[in-house]
Structure formats: structure tokens, C-alpha cells
Amino acid sequence: MSSVVPAFGPDAPARLAGLADVTASDAALRRFLHGLPGVDAVGLEARAAGLGTRSIKTTAKAYAIDLAISMIDLTTLEGSDTPGKVRALCAKGRRPDPTDPGTPHVAAICVYPDMVAVAREALGEGSGISVASVATAFPAGRVALPVKLADTADAVAAGADEIDMVIDRGAFLSGRYMEVFEEIRAVKQACVRKDETAAHLKVIFENGELSTYDNIRRCSWLAMLAGADFIKTSTGKVAVNATPANTLLMLEAVRDFREAVGVQVGVKPAGGIRTSKDAIKYLVMVNETLGDDWLSPEWFRFGASSLLNDLLMQRQKLSTGRYSGPDYVTVD
């Protein structure tokens, strides 16, 4: 492969077209996905646990904490969300630690589609923070395709920079891979704005529902073949969300995909990552599986809400030597 192109760039579709034969029919796609190497669960989990024992101290810790903050999709996805809540979250995202202006801002604010306009306005111009919106009837995705597409288009029209879609797990689990593939393609199309630019598309698998590691690897390739800019572990709304092992598996998938197709895709673990220690373990996995090329908010994100405050407390402790406690970070 001569060069690597980003999944959201203009050259990616041509690269994907090079694999048109594997997505030419339901049978071809199935053969391809089922031909991927299997995953040994014990070995995968052991590797993830092994990387979790890395000891990240002093300068490395400071780097990791700032990087993790800059990779956060600061999220509120509740029925009780209000404009006030979303504005507060945007303020927090811009200046996570009011006592230290050197603190990096988060990558994005992640909200439901009806809150996109509020977030857009609250962030204003030039904040460097994206507005991400879940769409396609998040989290269950149990509506007809036209409704999903309308949901997506609505969020994009309201100013979303990024769309986090959910796949149809029912279709995937019943083996209708082509249906899932076509749906991702359609949503990707719905992300295109009037001026031909497009919101970045993150594809959520809901690993807890896909259940097996083999399924997660297949789903990763399926989503990347369909044009996903990011692949994302989970909605945060089910019992099992991001785990070190299922995230590691997706990291391996984007690595292999880039190797094979020359298209670079990002990864976003979401749900259940609450402490700095956890976040650093994920960054170690990125570092040792993918290396420098993925160590930026452009290619790796954390879908999280409470994680930010723990990172801020650890950041304060590193700079002052004291652990000041939860009353010294803001509650939003």
C-alpha cells in the first residue's frame, strides 16, 4: 500500500471500491467476514490484562492525562437533558479546569439530536470542540431506515460535526450482513451537508449485544468496508460496554484494515471508563497496538462523562503534589 488515507478524506471511497468484490453480494460479504481469522477469547483477554499492568509514571502520566482529556467526547445522553445542562457541559468542555487555563479542552460534546443546536450555540465559533450527536434512533436503533436517515439528517442540519450511529444488531445477529452494510452506507450519505462536506460518522456496534469476539471482529470490518470514520464499542446503555479486551480487538481491526486497504479509521470506546487509571490503560493499548499514528483526538476518543473529573483531579495532583478531592473540580 503506497500511502494511507483518512477514512473521512476524499480518497477513501476509491480505496474501498478496490474491495467492491467482497461487498458485491450478501454471499460474498458473508464469506469474507467468516473468513477473517478467529479470536481466541482467553488469549485476547490475557493480552489486554497484560497491557493493563504497565506502570505509567511522572512525565508519561502527565502526557497521558492531557491526551486523555483532549480525546474525550463529553457526553450527556439522558431523557432529562435540558438546554441548561447542555450549556453547562459545553462550558466544562471548553475550560475543564477553570483554575488552570493550560488544561486542554475536550474533543467533542456528545448529545441527542434535539440538543445539537443548543450545543452548537453554546460552543460558539472557533472553540475547536466538535458537536457530536447520536442518531439513528439511539440506543436501540429499532425504527425503520427512513426514520434513521431523517434523524441523522436532522442532527447534521442542526450543526452536528460528528454522527454516532447505532447498527441494527438484530440484522447482524441474524446474519443479514448486507442489510447492516447498506444501512451504514445510507447513514454515511445522510451525513453529507449541502456544501458537499460531511459530518464524520462513528459506527456503534453495541459489543455487549454482539456478544462474541468473532462477531466484534466481523462487525469492525463490515463497518469499515461500509465507510465508517470511527468504530465505537457501545452506547453506554447496556450491561457490557467498552472493555479493554473488546477495545483491543477493535484496535487490531483498524490496524489490519489500514494494512490491507490503506484507509485509517478511528476507534472510540464508550461506557464504563471512569478513572484516569482506566483511561491510561486504554492509551497504553493504543500505543502498543497502533503507535503514534492513532495517539490524537482525530483517531481515538473516549465516550465518557465522569472520566473527565477524575482526570482533572489526577492532573491537579501531578502539578501540586496534593490530591484536593472532588470539591475542587466542577460538577456539571
Q: Which is nearer to other proteins, 217 or 268 (CB)?
A: 217
The label of the residue with cell 452536528 reads 160
By the rule CB under 8 A, 10 interacts with other proteins: no
Which CB sits closer to other proteins, 57 or 322? 57
Q: Which of 9, 124, 175, 291 binds other proteins (CB under 8 A)?
A: 291
Measured CA to CA in angstroms, residue 55 lies from 180, 281, 289, 318 at distances of 40, 9, 17, 15
3-state helix, strand, coil in the chain (%, to 5): 50, 10, 35
Q: Please, which residue, 75 or 287, has the CB nearer to other proteins?
A: 287
- For other proteins, the binding residues in 198-257 under the rule CB under 8 A are 252
CA-CA distance, 316 to 98, in Å (whole number)? 12
Q: Which stretch binds other proteins (CB under 8 A): 124-132, 160-168, 191-199, 290-298?
A: 290-298
Candidate residues 69, 90, 290, 304; the one interacting with other proteins per rule CB under 8 A: 290
Give the catalytic positions in this structure: 164, 232, 268
Binding string, residues 34-73; x marks residues near other proteins by CB under 8 A: ---xxxx-xxx-xx-----xxxxxxxxx-xx--x------
In the chain, the DSSP E strands lie at 5-6, 72-75, 108-111, 130-135, 162-166, 200-204, 230-232, 263-264, 266-268, 302-304
The count of other CB atoms within 10 Å of the CB of residue 78 is 11
278 lines the binding site for other proteins (CB under 8 A): no
Q: Which cell numbers in the block locate residue 237?
A: 446503555
| # chain residues binding other proteins, by CB under 8 A | 31
Query: Nearest distance from residue 233's CB to other proteins, in Å?
Result: 18
- Smallest gap from Cβ 37 to other proteins, in A, equals 5
160 vs 249, beta carbon nearer other proteins: 249
Least distance (Å) from other proteins to the CB of residue 60? 4
Q: Is 288 helix (H, G, I), strand (E, B) or coil?
A: helix
Helix H, strand E, coil C: the string for 141-192 is CCCCHHHHHHHHHHHHHCCCCEEEEECCHHHHHCCCHHHHHHHHHHHHHHCE
Cα dihedral 153→159→227→176 (10° resolution): -40
Q: Binding other proteins by CB under 8 A: which of 10, 292, 322, 331?
A: 292
Query: Least distance in Å: CB of 68 to other proteins?
Result: 11
Bridge partners of 162, per DSSP, are 132, 200
**Interface ranges with other proteins (CB under 8 A):** 37-40, 42-44, 46-47, 53-61, 63-64, 67, 252, 283-284, 287-288, 290-293, 295
